[in-house]
Amino acid sequence: MQSRPVAPPVTDAPARRAALAAALLASFLTPFMGSSVNIALPPIGREFSLDAVTLGWVATAYILAAAVFLLPFGRLADITGRRKIFTSGLGAYAAASLGAALVQNGGQLIVLRLLQGVSGAMLFGTGVAILTSVFPPAQRGRVLGWNAAAVYIGLSLGPTAGGLITEAFGWRFIFILNAALAAAAFLAVSRSLKFDFREAAGEGFDMKGAVIYGLALSAVIAGFSEMPDAAGVILVVLGGVGLGMFVLIETRTKHPLLQVSLFRGNPVFIYSNAAALINYSATFAVGFLLSLYLQFAKGFSPAGAGLVLVAQPVLMALISPFAGRLADRLEPRLIASGGMALSAAGLLMLAFIGRDTPLVYLMTALVVIGSGFGFFSSPNTSAVMGAVERKCYGVAASTLGTMRLVGQMLSLGLAMLLFALIIGRVPISAAVLPEFIDSLRASFALFAALSLAGVGASLARNRVAGAA
């Protein structure tokens, strides 16, 4: 059987357009799913009688599975073909989304969210790796800015569309819509993307490392949801030990899952990934927390809450392409660091919210956070991808994606931990509203401190011109 052509020349304009369209479709789809489901969490919680911590797992399960499988699928994409993994992920994502629309209880929904996350992992890293393979370094910041804009457009439409869909048709239709979008993307990509990338073809796959990594990461996140109980502490410790073992094994493996050598003598790669981890840890739970706040404390409908929350991702979508172009001319570290400082200011504003906080105050904070994130994302991605050689693009993109997803999990995990400490394992209601507000304030104060720490990690990078 004839194999597909590998890595077309960067001068092939139709190939570039096909790669860009494919990556943008996937980059829109996954955040649209996440942000629309966040708006639907209160109705889901009421239908299945879920407490605050279990409700958080509806969001966390997807991210956990994606984080566990992102590095393995990134490595497999480099070996077997990025197009193959990418299109398979779209098909599996459509099937899992349709299944989630048919669940009968919270446990089934969490399982289907896990399956969505596995298929999402096949999309996260491969799309960025394909773009980086096709476009030359001088255009990398620009196309990654467009890719970031697609992510934020998905985030922007998700809350509004999710709220309107939930009110008009019920929350299950959100999953039906995502299944239809994924199926359409699968058909479009199968027809237009005719080439593949297998720069690591013939190398081995580190199955032992993949298993240890997945179990260790799962233990850490599961432990966060059980803390401060002893079982939670034990799981976190065991997971931390497991991650340490994973890194040690990877240094002694011929074809490792995670190329530890990428971090050696490469401060740009190290600190850019650290900055991404901290930034997502500090910002991701904002939508989840404010969705609950607006509906439980303010009495907003799902559609009304979505219209408020749309302010943050709209700013991200508007600013990301501009920030990407700046990263082609200026130092990515300075642009990204300034963006993270803006996000810290917005998070600090939210640390003072109460039941009677004016809506204009909330929206101002969201605008500040969204602007900061828009200036951070594409310059930071450009710095990461520019710090490795071509054959490592899949692993580098997956490493960055893993930082993003682990940061998102830590963000939700910290929020759920504070829920457990301050509210307890009870459904959110008027009886626990004061405790709920206290947990929000504590979460946003912690996230603001994390974001300030991230500014230091971002500035610690060596001076690197974006075009280099």
Which is nearest to 229 in space by CA: 463, 421, 63, 6? Answer: 421
Q: Please say whether the beta carbons of 177 and 184 come within 8 A.
A: no
Q: Which long-range contacts (CB under 8 A, 24 or more apart) does 246-249 make?
A: 246/209, 246/212, 246/213, 246/216, 249/208, 249/209, 249/212
Highest mean pLDDT pick, 180-184, 263-267, 328-332, 393-397: 180-184
- Contact assessment for residue 344 and residue 452, using Cβ atoms and an 8 Å cutoff: yes
Q: Judge contact between 179 and 97, C-beta under 8 A.
A: yes
Comparing 114 with 60, the larger pLDDT belongs to: 114
Task: List, for residues 146-166, the tens digit of each pLDDT value.
Answer: 877 787 677 667 777 888 888
Res 344: pLDDT: 94
Q: Among residues of the chain, what percentage have pLDDT more than 90?
A: 18
pLDDT-derived band at 192 (thresholds 50, 70, 90) equals: low
Q: Which residue has the tokens 């237009």?
A: 192
Residue 6's DSSP bridge partners are 196
Residue 302 has pLDDT above 60, yes or no: yes
Per-residue confidence band for 466, with pLDDT thresholds at 50, 70 and 90:
very low
In this prediction, residue 87 carries a pLDDT of 85
Better-predicted residue by pLDDT, 311 or 117: 117
User: For residue 218, which amino acid is it?
Assistant: S
Q: What is residue 97's predicted lDDT score, i.e. its pLDDT?
A: 93
In this prediction, residue 421 has a pLDDT band, given cuts at 50, 70 and 90, of: confident
Q: What is the pTM of this model?
A: 0.72
Q: 387, 331 in Cβ contact below 8 A?
A: no
Q: Compute the chain's Rg from CA coordinates.
A: 21
For residues 71 and 227, the model is more confident at 71
The percent helix, strand, coil of the chain (3-state, each to 5) is 80, 0, 20
pLDDT of amino acid 389: 75
Confidence bin at 353 (pLDDT 50/70/90): very high
Task: List, for residues 201-223, the tens digit of each pLDDT value.
Answer: 667 777 888 899 889 988 887 78
